């Protein structure tokens, strides 16, 4: 079917042109203004010779122009490649070359990561475009990069004519995974998959045109773009957004803009509570609270619930984001679960032989449905390993209860065997995360070699500011909460844990550093 995600912008510009699509830094951008910016950049792309199927990349912090570039790509059938602006030049180089991006738009603040690799990437000469911040002491890249606003200011605002139709099955974006192990993989998301994901998110939140969605997630992340922004714009709502996450601003935005839906990752919740960002803020407008996940400590959820923020935890991956969510009515009764499979996703557990497991038995979560990615870009081997006979293998271990709720135990690769017994670090991490002296969620356990047991656990723990603990206190706290064979034999107290940009602990980095930290 010939249709595209780009229709979202043109349709709402027709139906409700003066409605605020976005409020960025307290300044509204209407659906008409957003769509006109999209069309200007679409004409710009056509003038530069970009065709359907070409990849274009962005290295940008959150800004209205991000949606202009994305929307233009969607309308023309180009494939959008958002880059993590925190990456170093080597990482930027890999993703530009792996995706084969012909064009790159970047903020001048990130030019230092682009300039050194210009001669070694696929981006063509004349197809570097810079977004100027206007800040002092930022290098001038005008010698080799065109100014975004100068390039687009005189382009038409009418709908661009298509060289060839865009099909729902066509690729819309390549979203690179966090790269927890090895080079990141580029998950290919289609227009069709994105529409179904919009429907799924909208049903989780019972969204409507009147909804105001607050987030400060980065747009390069699948959560910021595909879980928050597109479902909101698809239904004609309003996004509240800032360039980067700031706890105090987040709290003030709730009081100022009265959002009805918010999305916050576990790491961000912790920062918000530590900053006392909700003190003196009227939170009564918030109807739906998304965020957290299987690693969100009970103590943190309880603290938020006491403020009237009942977090609907969920489960998803770049390959199939937001595939499950706890229903609002069950946030307390099913605390610890990551929810029920969404309307457009089926999720179940499989045993080693591929058999579907009954409730209560631990196996790998697998999923099907129209929200699953198309595959990994230019990587047929890993695609075949991950999607088998149309079934996505998530790599997450867990079980389903009698009511269909999912409970994650651990990642397959994180499990280790001690004395012949399977040990799932996440189980112990959850318990320790509720210790009153431990920074919530800041516990990570990996398996390390052991002469007696084959493998044993090594715990890396971040204490709350001003608090100290000993290994003996940790083991005492575990008594009666987990079996003794699951106790970590080694305990290391550190100032911080290595994290991905999506707020997940990078266990691969701990394994690499393990010898140095002993």
Average pLDDT, the chain: 92
Domain ranges (residues) in the chain: 7-12+30-167, 197-411, 415-517
User: Tell me, which fold does domain 415-517 have in CATH?
Assistant: GMP Synthetase; Chain A, domain 3 (3.30.300)
Average pLDDT on 4-32 reads 98
pLDDT in tens, 133-143: 989 999 999 99
Predicted pLDDT of residue 252: 97
pLDDT of 366 over the 50 cut:
yes
7-12+30-167 and 415-517: identical CATH topology: no
pLDDT of 182 over the 60 cut:
no
The total number of residues shown for the chain amounts to: 518
Average pLDDT on 356-366 reads 96
Average pLDDT on 379-399 reads 94
Predicted pLDDT of residue 511: 81
User: Where on the phi/psi map is residue 25: left (φ > 0), alpha (ψ -120 to 50), or beta?
Assistant: left
**Parallel, antiparallel or unpaired: strands 171-176 and 128-131:** unpaired
pLDDT of 9 over the 50 cut:
yes
Which of the four CATH numbers 3.90.1640.10, 3.90.550.10, 3.30.70.260, 3.40.50.980 does domain 7-12+30-167 have?
3.40.50.980
Distances in Å between the Cα of 10 and the Cα atoms of 32, 210, 288, 420 are 8, 19, 28, 60
List phi, psi (to 5°) of 447: -85, 135
Average pLDDT on 344-362 reads 95
User: Tell me, which fold does domain 197-411 have in CATH?
Assistant: Rossmann fold (3.40.50)
pLDDT in tens, 147-179: 999 999 999 999 999 889 999 999 999 999 864
């Amino acid at each position: 079917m010939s249709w595209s995600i780009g229709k979202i912008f043109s349709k709402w510009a027709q139906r409700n042109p003066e409605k605020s699509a976005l409020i960025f830094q307290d300044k509204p951008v209407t659906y008409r203004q957003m769509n006109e910016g999209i069309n200007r950049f679409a004409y710009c792309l056509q003038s530069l010779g970009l065709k359907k199927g070409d990849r274009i990349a962005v290295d940008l912090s959150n800004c209205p122009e991000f949606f202009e570039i994305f929307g233009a790509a969607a309308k023309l059938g180009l494939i959008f490649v958002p880059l993590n602006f925190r990456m170093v030049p080597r990482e930027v180089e890999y993703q530009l070359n792996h995706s084969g991006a012909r064009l790159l738009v970047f903020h001048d603040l990130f030019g230092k990561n682009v300039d050194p690799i210009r001669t070694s990437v696929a981006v063509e000469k004349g197809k570097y475009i810079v977004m100027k911040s206007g800040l002092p002491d930022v290098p001038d890249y005008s010698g080799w990069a065109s100014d975004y606003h100068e390039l687009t200011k005189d382009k038409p605002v009418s709908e661009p004519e298509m060289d060839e139709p865009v099909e729902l099955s066509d690729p819309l974006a390549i979203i690179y995974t966090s790269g927890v192990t090895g080079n990141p993989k580029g998950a290919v998301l289609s227009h069709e998959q994105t529409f179904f994901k919009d429907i799924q998110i909208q049903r989780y939140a019972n969204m409507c045109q009147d909804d105001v969605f607050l987030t400060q997630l980065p747009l390069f992340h699948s959560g910021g773009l595909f879980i928050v922004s597109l479902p909101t714009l698809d239904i004609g709502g309003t996004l509240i957004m800032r360039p980067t996450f700031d706890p105090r601003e987040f709290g003030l935005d709730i009081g100022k803009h009265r959002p009805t839906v918010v999305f916050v990752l576990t790491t961000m919740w912790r920062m918000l509570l530590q900053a006392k960002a909700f003190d003196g803020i009227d939170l009564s407008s918030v109807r739906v609270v998304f965020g957290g996940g299987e690693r969100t400590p009970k103590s943190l959820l309880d603290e938020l619930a006491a403020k009237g923020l009942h977090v609907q935890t969920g489960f998803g991956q770049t390959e199939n984001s937001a595939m499950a969510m706890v229903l609002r009515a069950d946030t307390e009764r099913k605390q610890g679960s990551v929810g029920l499979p969404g309307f457009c996703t089926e999720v179940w557990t499989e045993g080693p032989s591929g058999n579907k497991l009954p409730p209560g038995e631990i196996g790998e979560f697998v999923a099907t449905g129209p929200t699953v990615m198309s595959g990994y870009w230019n990587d047929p081997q890993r695609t075949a390993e991950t999607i088998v006979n149309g079934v996505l293998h998530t790599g997450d271990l867990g079980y389903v209860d009698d009511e269909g709720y999912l409970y994650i135990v651990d990642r397959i690769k994180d499990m280790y065997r001690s004395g012949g017994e399977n040990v799932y670090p996440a189980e112990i991490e959850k318990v320790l995360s509720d210790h009153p002296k431990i920074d919530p969620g800041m516990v990570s356990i990996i398996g390390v070699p052991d002469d007696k047991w084959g493998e044993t656990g090594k715990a890396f723990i971040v204490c709350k500011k001003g608090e100290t603990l000993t290994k003996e206190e940790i083991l005492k706290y575990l008594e009666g909460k987990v079996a003794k064979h699951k106790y970590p034999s080694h305990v290391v107290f550190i100032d911080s844990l290595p994290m991905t940009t999506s707020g997940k602990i990078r266990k691969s980095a701990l394994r690499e550093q393990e010898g140095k930290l002993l």
